[in-house]
Structure 1
Amino acid sequence: MHMIAIYAPTEVSTDEAKDQFYSKLQEVVDGIPKRDLLLIAGDFNAHSGANRLGWETVLGNYGVGEMNDNGLRMLSFAATNSLIIGNSWFRHPKWHQRTWRAPNGKDTSVLDYVMVNNRFRSSLRDVRAMRGADCGSDHHLLRALVRLKLKRSTPKPVPTKRHDWRYLSDPIIKQQFQLALSNRFEVLTQSEDVDKEAENIAQTVQKCAKILCPVIRKRTQPWISDACLDIIDQRKRAKLVDQTQYRQLNGEVRQRLKAERETYWNNVATELEEAANRQEYRTLYATLRRLSGKVRPISNDIQKSDGTFVRTAAERLERWREFFHQLYNHESPTGPPASPPKIAFPLHPVPEHEPSIEEVKIAIRLMKTGKAAGSDEVTAEALKYGGDILAQRVHSLICLMWCSNQIPHTWKVATIVPSSRKATQRTVTTTKGSACYPLLEKSSCVFYSYDYKNCVSRLPEKSKPDFA
């Protein structure tokens, strides 16, 4: 809901002053979303008149007086912006319509108006002058009654198909996954371009894994199993063709839901007790937060650097880009450059040979599972259960990078997930970002880290760097 209070130039003012006023008012109105309720109230210094001819969508049946130049401008402005003159849509005695009394104390007129969007016309319940209010002014208080039926607007997000990568741990599915990778990689020759090769590996892993890993089904309650969801689907189909089978399946669904609910809560209680006994407070409080159901709502109403709120998705993305650009890019420090520290050359330098296949396998084995995938949509589970065929292909990619001194362009792109540190999320400065990098890039980082630590551990104690 947006409210604008105005004071328009008088009838005897110059045309330039009137044009300037309505131009400025139009700029303010243009910055307000069309779907929002807009209410404009104030002294328009205008006579709308009672003739509705040509103004049926703007002026009601209860206009007052004769239209003047300011009245024509006001009606034109209202018609352009799909507004209505609220005063003219409600029947009242003339002393409840007139808002201004002349200095002679006898002549009265209507100079103050309330406008509202035509879309919210039914929300405006009444507009009338309140003559009893002692304001010390020649204008009477104008009251507008507005009744809103508010409904929380939550845009439906596009559902993302999330695959259950845990299925790859099954020995049979794991064997099928490795066989599918082997068949695809046999017909896919290795590219000499690092970008193309990284893209081929990521797409091949996605296609093979998504065939074997089913999509995680949406559950209204966490204890509902896939078997129960299958019976619910059968019940839905039987409702249209066989009522006897429908009643039978309905009873089976109820029994299953009751049993699965009891089993679920018993397992949760056992999990809490075991976590408390092992003093695993992270697991304990994470489970308690999950059971409490308190989820912080995500608000898209964020402020710009000048304090105003964003209006469109493009402005929202631009504000986040501006914030993270300022966060991660700092100006170079002024003053004389600092002298570089003297670093002693190690007695046993780190070898610069190409990585071996065993080192790549160790790096993949050291990766943590259950982590979010990056832009390549390749998870650690897919790399771990891909077997030797996938490890060899990743090893070939790392060797290609090693020889060409290049890394894929997609590995330089991270998905930043903002998380607010405070209850209010309107100010982006209270937000920190978590970056999700491609898993193939993470595997190479794990390899380089492991290789470096392994080499440093073989150095004499005096030659080891302080940060190792």
Structure 2
Amino acid sequence: MDHDMISKSTYFKRRPSKLKTWKYPDWKKGEWQLDHVCMDKNYHKEIYNVKVLRGTDTGSDHYMIKIKIKLTPLAKKNSHQKKKRTYDPHKLIQNGDYEAQTRDIKITDDLEEIIPKLKQIAEQVAPINPRKKHQWWNDECDEAVLDRHQAWLRHQNEKTEKSYLELTKQRKTTQKIIRRVKRQYQKDILLMIETNSEKTNSRDYYKIFGRQLQRYDPPTLMLKDKDNNLAHSNKIQKF
């Protein structure tokens, strides 16, 4: 059809006698399908059914058409996206430097001139710390990763054996630093759990212990016999 329309009155499977919508005044000439239901092809699935009600008395020579439709409202596109906050409001409340620095700002009726100055001071006094990859990640890990990236860039520019050896060495050093920091963090957690257990601080004990238990991944246990083969049966074997 024209204008990208779809005829829904003939879309559904019906017997030809169930599609007639108009009866000729002379009953000998039969009935005809004159009335149609059309819908845009992009939204034609919103019409679930089209049915001709032949038994309804409308006082007209046209039959009534029943349409089952479900209209889906269009989602409004939010053109005004929320800007990310560049300062931490909780730190501003606890920090007294913000109030001391904002006293020098002259109060005028022009808010567009005052607001940028207030935001600039807030960003300097209470900046938002970037989200860490892990709880144990610290500045030492960031520096090690940065050094590894710099070594990789030097190797991409030079492509020599010396640069490749330096890159390999820096990779191993970075891996050792990350592992050491992670292990130290885990030792500190175990020490905190032990300390809370000795001091009967049950609230902090179960809080820290439960948090670590959620991340626990049990190792896969394998049983071997004397010949160093996997034991697949339930029979008692000597190990």
Q: Do they superpose with TM above 0.5?
A: no
- Short-chain TM bin: 0.3 to 0.5
Point out which structure has higher relative CO (alpha carbons under 8 A, 6+ apart).
Answer: 1
Give TM-score scaled by structure 2 length: 0.43
Whichever of the two has the greater Rg, that structure is: 2
Give TM-score scaled by structure 1 length: 0.25
